[in-house]
């Protein structure tokens, strides 16, 4: 995983301000729709009422992603997945089915695993969003990521970020799960390579690693 | 990417109702079903009215008559995990736990689960079917292995909810608010058979929002369960399902409600089963007779005849389990 994907904790969004390949493509591709400003903690998202937001007009929202506030210009129809990847450059959450069936886009919202493809970005205002990048401790892998490496819990790797986020969500609610609970927790994440036995082992290992930290 | 729509998140129920007054304005609760439908352009939307800013629609609490009030925005995961529901309304907790996947249970709401659109692949696909204003049900002579065997006359959808059968078995009542005020509708009267109106699934009128689900008190003699049979163990809709809510006394069934999922366009009360088991002890002959009777009115299509023995076997197994706890 490189810095561009990690979202460095500098208060800057590399996809807009940095000259990375993805950032360049993003700003060219999205043009004026790119993120407005990202630094610092801005005012909390409005609770409750919002004025009607017109269909084809982008609106400003504030999203809290991996403990940082981002002011963003979004269309009401944009999914959280689209905004995370295309505006914030956080490409850990993957585009799979885009219909809530495969789990490749799983992120945590207020610590609960959810599909970012079926969540509107405007609906995520005021919520605490955690992506795969948010599990990193600086340059170090987080315990769940480390466990997946140790247990070789992937083949092609495409579903892996989603599997990791589902296990992370489970461990935040239940730090010492049994195998059945892990299987249940990743039941909304498809792995077409069939790495499930290793994924379950990684879940058990992740609980051990997390307990040590 | 879906079609363009405007978005509003009102801070009061009254405002939400008035926002729904414009053309093609739709309610966004959890959004899991809605966004899938919009992505597939099953129906149009010009405005989404999000009700997520209405905390009064969330939560589970006891009512003054010792029943239960579940806010319509309560998530499926919260319903599945709630101690009061697990203890006194087990079938509902089991049904909720069997819904979709963990991610969708964290997002989808109980009200939304009752208001789901059908999962018929002709309805969801590029077919101008009867339910979408066309003049033909493509399932009749098509790929109908997952369609209904009861209650279909012109359209053969099955109702996709796993919570509705349990709620119906418990005699749930829905509170609904709309432009003309609030009203109560029993869940038994909430869903609409295609023969009555093929273009709608519920009795909700324009601008109406389901606000809460009320359950009557559960008697100490009540035993309940929900069983879901699906093609795979995770993240799938029911091929066949049954909610049982039985009051047992001295080894006999005093009262019973038996509701099927995966069988009909609406959650389907198996009154034939209820008639046979009520007043009887759950002995093998009674169970066998009841399981057979459940399917006497079934009219399978070309490819879903397997559901008849599936329902019979599943009912026999579930009634047998009840006999063992009685």
Give the residue on A whose Cα is nearest the Cα of B101. A188
Q: Most distant CA pair in chain B: distance in Å?
A: 61
Give the residue on A whose Cα is nearest the Cα of B51. A48
Together in a domain, A25 and A92? yes
Q: Which residue, among A106, A113, A177, would best test binding to B if mutated, counting the most B CBs under 10 Å from its CB?
A: A113
Q: Is residue A83 part of a domain?
A: yes
Chain B hits for A78, Cβ within 8 Å = 1
Contact A188 B15 (CB under 8 A): no
Together in a domain, A99 and A176? no
Together in a domain, A115 and A148? no
Query: CA A201 from chain center: how many Å?
Result: 23
How many domains is chain B built from?
Answer: 2
Together in a domain, B266 and B231? yes
Residue A34 has what pLDDT?
Answer: 39
**Pick from A132, A165, A197: which residue ends a domain?**
A132
Together in a domain, B75 and B90? yes
pLDDT of B255 above 70: yes
Instruction: Return the closest-CA partner of residue A157 out of A114, A122, A192, A201.
Output: A192
Contact A53 B11 (CB under 8 A): no
Q: Most distant CA pair in chain A: distance in Å?
A: 50
Chain A hits for B78, Cβ within 8 Å = none
d(CA A98, CA A115): 9
Q: Is residue A189 part of a domain?
A: yes
- Domain enclosing residue A90, as ranges: 3-132
How many domains is chain A built from?
Answer: 2
Averaged pLDDT, B257-282: 98
Strands of chain B, DSSP E: 6-9, 25-28, 47-50, 60-62, 68-71, 173-178, 181-186, 209-215, 222-229, 240-249, 252-261, 268-269
Among candidates A78, A123, A185 on the partner chain, residue whose Cβ is nearest the Cβ of B52: A123
pLDDT of A43 above 60: no
Would you place residue B2 in the very low, low, confident or very high pLDDT band (cuts 50, 70, 90)?
Answer: confident
Instruction: Return the closest-CA partner of residue A61 out of A35, A97, A85.
Output: A35
Together in a domain, B211 and B227? no
- Domain enclosing residue B73, as ranges: 55-115+158-215
* pLDDT, tens digit, 9 for 90 and up, residues B280-326: 999 999 999 999 999 999 999 999 999 999 999 999 999 999 999 87
pLDDT of A18 above 90: no
Chain B hits for A182, Cβ within 8 Å = none
Residue A42 has what pLDDT?
Answer: 37
Beta bridge partners of B248: B253
Averaged pLDDT, A13-18: 41
Contact A103 B103 (CB under 8 A): yes
Contact B107 A103 (CB under 8 A): no
Residues 6+ apart with CB under 8 A from B247: B219, B221, B222, B223, B253, B254, B255, B256
Output A38 or B15, whichever has higher pLDDT. B15
Give this complex's ipTM: 0.95
Contact A118 B46 (CB under 8 A): no
d(CA B256, CA A178): 36
Residue A52 has what pLDDT?
Answer: 79
Q: What's phi and psi for A42, nearest 5 deg?
A: -95, 175
**Pick from A132, A163, A187: which residue ends a domain?**
A132
**Pick from A132, A153, A188: which residue ends a domain?**
A132
Please give, rounded to a whole number of angstroms, the shortest distance from the CA of A171 to a CA of chain B: 14
Together in a domain, A69 and A116? yes
Together in a domain, B208 and B247? no
Give the residue on B whose Cα is nearest the Cα of A183. B234
Please give, rounded to a whole number of angstroms, the shortest distance from the CA of A86 to a CA of chain B: 13
Chain A hits for B101, Cβ within 8 Å = 100, 103, 187-188
């Amino acid at each position: 995983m490189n810095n561009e994907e990690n979202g460095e904790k500098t208060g800057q969004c590399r996809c807009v301000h940095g000259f990375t390949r993805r950032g360049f493509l993003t700003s060219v591709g999205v043009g004026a729709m790119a993120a407005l400003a990202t630094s610092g903690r801005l005012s909390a998202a409005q609770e409750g009422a919002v004025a009607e937001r017109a269909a084809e007009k982008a609106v400003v929202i504030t999203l809290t992603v991996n403990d940082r506030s981002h002011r963003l210009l979004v269309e009401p129809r944009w999914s959280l997945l689209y905004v995370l990847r295309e505006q914030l450059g956080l490409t850990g959450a993957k585009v799979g089915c885009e219909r809530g069936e495969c789990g490749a886009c799983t992120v945590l919202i207020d610590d609960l695993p959810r599909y970012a493809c079926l969540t509107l970005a405007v609906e995520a205002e005021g919520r605490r969003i955690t992506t795969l990048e948010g599990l990193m401790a600086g340059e170090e892998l987080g315990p769940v990521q480390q466990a997946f490496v140790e247990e070789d819990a992937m083949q092609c790797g495409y579903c892996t970020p989603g599997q990791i986020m589902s296990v992370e969500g489970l461990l935040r609610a239940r730090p010492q799960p049994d195998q059945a609970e892990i299987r249940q927790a990743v039941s909304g994440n498809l792995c077409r390579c069939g790495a499930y036995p290793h994924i379950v082992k990684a879940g058990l290992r992740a609980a051990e690693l997390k307990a040590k930290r | 990417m879906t079609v363009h729509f405007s978005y509003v998140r009102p801070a009061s129920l009254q405002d939400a109702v008035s926002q729904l007054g414009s053309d093609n304005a739709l309610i966004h609760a959890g959004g899991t079903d809605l966004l899938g439908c919009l992505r597939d352009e099953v129906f149009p939307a010009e405005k989404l009215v999000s009700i997520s800013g209405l905390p009064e629609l969330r939560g589970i609490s006891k009512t003054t008559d010792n029943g239960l009030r579940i806010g319509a925005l309560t998530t499926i995961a919260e319903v599945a995990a709630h101690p009061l529901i697990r203890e006194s309304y087990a079938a509902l907790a089991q049904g909720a736990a069997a819904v979709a996947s963990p991610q969708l249970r964290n997002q989808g709401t109980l009200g939304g689960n009752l208001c789901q659109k059908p999962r018929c692949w002709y309805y969801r696909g590029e077919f101008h079917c009867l339910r979408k204003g066309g003049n033909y049900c493509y399932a009749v002579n098509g790929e109908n292995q997952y369609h209904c065997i009861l209650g279909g006359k012109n359209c053969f959808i099955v109702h996709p909810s796993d919570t509705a059968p349990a709620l119906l078995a418990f005699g749930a009542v829905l509170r609904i608010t709309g432009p003309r005020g609030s009203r109560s509708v029993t869940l038994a009267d909430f869903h609409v058979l295609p023969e009555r109106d093929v273009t709608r699934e519920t009795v909700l009128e324009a601008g109406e929002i389901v606000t809460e689900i009320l359950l009557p008190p559960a008697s100490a003699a009540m035993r309940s369960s929900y069983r879901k049979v699906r093609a795979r163990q995770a993240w799938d809709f029911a091929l066949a399902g049954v909610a049982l809510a039985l009051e047992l006394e001295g080894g006999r069934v005093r009262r019973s409600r038996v509701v099927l999922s995966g069988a009909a366009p609406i959650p389907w009360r198996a009154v034939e089963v209820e008639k046979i088991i009520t007043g009887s002890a759950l002995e093998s002959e009674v169970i066998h007779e009841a399981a057979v009777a459940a399917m006497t009115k079934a009219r399978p299509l070309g490819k879903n005849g397997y559901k008849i023995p599936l329902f019979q076997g599943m009912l026999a197994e579930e009634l047998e389990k009840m006999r063992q706890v009685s």
